[in-house]
Structure 1
Amino acid sequence: MNGELNSFDEYVARCKPEQKEIYYLCAPSRDLALNSPYLEAFEKAGREVIFVYTAIDDFTMANLEKYEGRSIVSAEKSNIDLGIDGDEKSDKEGDEKNEHGKEADDQKKLTGVEAEELCSWFHKTLDQKVASCKVTNRLDSSPAIVTDNESGAMRRMMRMVDTQEGGLDALPLAKQHVLINPKHPIILGLQSIREKEPTLAKVCAEQVFDNCLVAAGLLDDGRTMLPRLNDILLCVVKGANKDEK
């Protein structure tokens, strides 16, 4: 992540002894890659990630699979073990600490019960788009990510071919696996309003999901979000006016 061209051999030489994978992330630019939610876990774990910037590079990396016995793995995959996730264990420990009033830090976080309820609600609310929803400790500053990106490289490649040749049908988007950040204010807010204001909560959940698709490079046309964004802005403006009265 030093902004220079690197070979696989140079990358491997810098890896920690216990690292057996080569990680990569595809993004349109270096700035977008550096701000990608998929990078957060690797920065936390001190793992280097190779950036690639074109659909052809993305497709090639996905199909190489191995180099010198090391698996080539997209940072977007869900089953990456960086030794920091521990989702189920963290939830159980969080519940135990909450029961005894001894939360380890001051940061608010969904309890295991709340996380289970919210994930179930999120899945049911977006059941046509979401295959599953669960919490993760991979994220710091992002509310959620999607991880059905075995199809991501193919979809981006198809989009590139379609742009060049035209006439190809869009590749259907498979149902996504959503990982939510139990400490993020948006996720905490969703849990708070999902029963009190179900319509607003649904709109926000849809926007969170589409934001995930944007981050993954899977949203074909961002203009589809505009009506919903206007609805959210309207709610914000109305809320601000109500506070002033």
Structure 2
Amino acid sequence: MMRAVRERCGADYPILVKLNGTDDLPLRRAATSEELVRVAHWLQEAGADAIEISRGHYESWPGMIQGRYRGFIKASVTVGAATHGSAMRKMAARVVAPVVERVAEWARPPREGFNLPFAQRFTDSLDIPVIVVGGFHTRDGMEAALRSGAADAVSAARAFIADPYLYRNIVGEPLAERPVCGYCNGCIARFSGSRIDCYNPEIRGQREVMLSVVRRRGLSGPGLEPPRHHSANRSQS
């Protein structure tokens, strides 16, 4: 498949592959980091230009989206992906939600750069650049990750939902009071049922103030293109 993509896109087209650093499936057999590094080698040999390290999949909750989880299950079964489940399953989920959410927050608290240890294994083994995602939202955190040598670049997703001008705000003078993602995971809980957006009222308020400043000043330039809301069927990263 990788070779077919390369042949179709041409030699000068950059191809990045997102790959787990760990499947993060407690108490179950899953692909190990060593096995995933071997997969990355195959991708490199087949023509990939860079590998982005993430973790887990839909069965890996809560590890793939470390953060806060209060209200996560209720939102998921009422307006998110779990709305497609049976009435019995949704009722059971809401009953156990208080305990499950507290355990999840204890086991996988919010932490900037939580995939760095896995990215290091790929960086040590590959010749192509390694990108890492996982809770990045501050300049200090991003620069520390790069200085560590664990990865060649960092990426972010939830932080951009809270602050569409994240890049501009961390490399230059902030446009206004900068909205910072609190990793409540409300955006993830509502995935596929509602549009991708920030669902923390305080952070959304800060974002609206910032956007009003952009509009009022008529600002333009790198990192100042108008933000676009993504449709609910777009994949999140």
Q: How does the TM-score come out when normalised to structure 1?
A: 0.27
Structure (1 or 2) with the greater strand fraction: 1
Q: How does the TM-score come out when normalised to structure 2?
A: 0.28
